[in-house]
Amino acid sequence: MAEKDEQVIWYWENLPGVMAGISHKNAGWMNADAVDLKRGAIGRTNRHKFFSKLGFDPDKTVTITGLRHTTNVQAVDSDSAGRIVYGPNGIDGLSTDRPGLVLASTMADCLPLYFYDPMAKVAAIAHAGWRGVLNNMASRMIDHLTAHYPAVGIGSLRALIGPGLRSCHFEVKPDVEELFKANYAEYIDYRENRIYVDLPAIVRYQLSQAGLASDSIVDADECTYDLSNHYFSFRRDHPPKPQSMIAFIVLRNE
**Cα–Cα–Cα angle for 151, 157, 158, nearest 5°?**
155
pTM: 0.95
Domain covering 3-169+200-251 assigned CATH 3.60.140.10 in the classification: yes
> What's the pLDDT tens digit per position in 231-248?
999 999 998 887 999 999
Three-state secondary structure of 142-173? HHHHHHHCCCCCCCCCEEEECCECCCCCCEEC
Identify the three-state secondary structure at position 197: strand
Q: What are the backbone angles phi and psi of residue 20, rounded to the nearest 5°?
A: -145, 140
Helix H or strand E encompassing 216? none
End-to-end CA distance of the chain: 24
Q: What are the backbone angles phi and psi of residue 117, rounded to the nearest 5°?
A: -115, 105
What's the mean pLDDT in 72-89? 93
Q: What are the backbone angles phi and psi of residue 4, rounded to the nearest 5°?
A: -115, 140
**Where in the chain are the domains?**
3-169+200-251
Identify the three-state secondary structure at position 215: helix
Confidence class of residue 1 from pLDDT cuts 50, 70 and 90? very low
Exposed, middle or buried by CB within 10 Å (0-12, 13-18, 19+), for 11? Answer: buried
Identify the three-state secondary structure at position 63: strand
> What's the pLDDT tens digit per position in 8-18?
999 999 999 99
**Cα–Cα–Cα angle for 130, 136, 140, nearest 5°?**
135
